[in-house]
Amino acid sequence: MLHEGPAALAWLTEHPCELLITDVRLPGADGIQLLERARKQDPPASCLVMTGYATVEQAVEAMKQGAMSYLQKPFPTEALLSLVRQADELRSMRDEIRRLRAGVGPENSGLSGQSTQVRDLQGRIDAAASSHAAALISGASGTGKERVARAIHRQSERAEQAFVPVACAAIPENLLEGELFGFRKGAFTGADDDHAGLFSQAGHGTLFLDDIEDLPLEAQSKLLRVLQEREFTPLGSPRPYEFHAAVVAATKVDLAERVKDGGFREDLYYRLNVVPLHIPPLRERPSDIPVLLGEFLLRHDPEGRYRIAEDTLRRLGQYEWPGNVRELENSLRRAMALSGRARVLRDEHFFPGGPAGDLRAEEIVPLRESVRRAEADAIRKAMAATGGRKLKAAELLGISRKVMWQKMKDLGLSGED
């Protein structure tokens, strides 16, 4: 621990630093100078700034210079420890991306990540791959259902055989039977040649039925028969053919609810749902975001030209990603396209209009007023959660009772608010 600004500046010149915790005011220098020096290191250090009530504006300036956060004195020890833990998580995220760039990341199992949900799903993938039983993958759009289906195929004994994807929603209903089962020459007007359907093309491999909920009821009935009898009959054929492929289906809806509504056959649902695999949305597994970003950087920037700014990486982990993995990948590609000559990707590259890009100019308020509103809202919520007990509310907010009282006074809040 160094107590003087010049000594700290000299130390930072000679030594790498992962985390800097500094006061705004130091003997012989100020904390902003230390912050600037620490942020110029490669990789830049995470920085926490401590400040008294009279130097809050300097702390805000420190945030603009790249500080991770600031603490207003006096503060509880737990508030500092919490920020230190966050800084450690950010360092781990950066290390994960570097490791993936070096090619020593985890094997691609179809759904990249290190969260408990992904590890549990990997066990299900292994089970589905070692079995010939049907599997049903559920998850919101963009979560990576086809990637999981391909992982099941790749890890199975059928890996050398065909993987045939079928977009159930993309085939017109009047052409569906011919596309699935095939047809013989002369079976109908326009059938000038034999056509091998998708069931035939799958052979001894894997048939992947995506958006299975969009399959019409009549086609559901015929699919059920194929799964039960393990045979299908092309249109115009005098005899059936054996069906050998494993079947993996995927749905973006709650198929059990669709059964209750009468939109999906119950017997087919149970026939498909032998090995269920659910992919959680990205907002429920934010720890997977750096792993995914590392993988996408390898795919779209193999030369290693780009890196993601630390504060931007943190905000990407806080965004909910309604489009899930697909949206995350697209946002990285957009960031690289919009970065110009910059090689450090920042917020404005990922979200050129901000995550809420439809904000109108008249809705934007000065930064100081935004901070006041946010602080007032946070205090109201904390007071409501604690039944108006200021000490408990202050503990929830990570500030002292004295700071809590002063802020309430400055913001014009009373206990009744």
Question: Domain holding 45: CATH number?
Answer: 3.40.50.2300
Residues 51 and 120 in one domain: no
pLDDT at residue 361 in the model: 36
Residues 380 and 238 in one domain: no
pLDDT tens-digit profile of 200-259? 999 999 999 999 999 999 999 999 999 999 998 888 888 889 999 999 999 999 999 999
Token pair of 28 as six digits: 């012989």
Residues 173 and 247 in one domain: yes
Residues 151 and 226 in one domain: yes
Number of other CB atoms surrounding residue 318 within 10 Å: 10
In a domain, 337, yes or no: no
Q: Output the tens digit of pLDDT for each of the chain's 417 residues.
A: 656 778 888 888 888 888 888 887 777 767 788 888 888 777 778 888 887 755 566 667 777 667 777 777 778 888 888 888 877 766 766 666 665 555 434 344 446 777 888 888 988 999 999 988 999 999 999 999 999 999 999 999 999 999 999 999 888 888 888 888 888 787 777 777 888 889 999 999 999 999 999 999 999 999 999 999 999 888 888 888 999 999 999 999 999 999 999 999 999 999 999 999 999 999 899 888 888 888 888 888 877 788 888 888 888 888 889 889 999 999 999 999 988 888 889 888 898 776 543 333 334 455 666 677 777 878 887 887 787 888 888 887 878 878 888 888 777 776 554
One-letter amino acid for residue 220 of the chain = Q
332 secondary structure, DSSP code: H
Give the integer Cα–Cα distance in Å for 366 and 130: 59
Q: Exposure of 316 by Cβ count < 10 A (0-12 exposed, 13-18 middle, 19+ buried)? A: buried
In a domain, 188, yes or no: yes
Residues 130 and 67 in one domain: no
Residues 135 and 60 in one domain: no
- Across the strands, what pairs with 70? 49
Instruction: Indicate the SS3 state at residue 266.
Output: helix
Residues 128 and 273 in one domain: yes
Nearest Cα neighbor of 22 from 12, 13, 30, 14 is: 30
pTM of the model: 0.61
Nearest Cα neighbor of 99 from 294, 292, 317 is: 294
Residues 150 and 270 in one domain: yes
Q: How far apart are the first and last CA of the chain?
A: 43
Q: Which CATH number do you get for residue 198?
A: 3.40.50.300
pLDDT at residue 220 in the model: 93
In a domain, 315, yes or no: no
Of 51, 75, 99, the domain-final residue: 75
pLDDT tens-digit profile of 310-355? 888 888 888 889 889 999 999 999 999 988 888 889 888 898 776 5
In a domain, 64, yes or no: yes
Which of 87-102 are b and which e, b meaning 16 or more Cβ less than 10 Å from the residue's Cβ? Answer: beebbebbebbeebbe
Residues whose CB falls within 8 Å of the CB of residue 267, separated by 6 or more in sequence, listed in order: 224
Residues 67 and 131 in one domain: no
Residues 151 and 36 in one domain: no
Of 43, 75, 107, the domain-final residue: 75
Token pair of 212 as six digits: 């299975």
Nearest Cα neighbor of 293 from 107, 159, 99 is: 99
Of 280, 307, 334, the domain-final residue: 280
In a domain, 95, yes or no: no
In a domain, 326, yes or no: no
Residues 153 and 43 in one domain: no
In a domain, 86, yes or no: no
**How many distinct structural domains can be found in the chain?**
3
Q: Exposure of 174 by Cβ count < 10 A (0-12 exposed, 13-18 middle, 19+ buried)? A: exposed
Tell me the residue range of the domain where 389 lies. Answer: 365-411
Residues 201 and 266 in one domain: yes
pLDDT at residue 366 in the model: 56
In a domain, 195, yes or no: yes
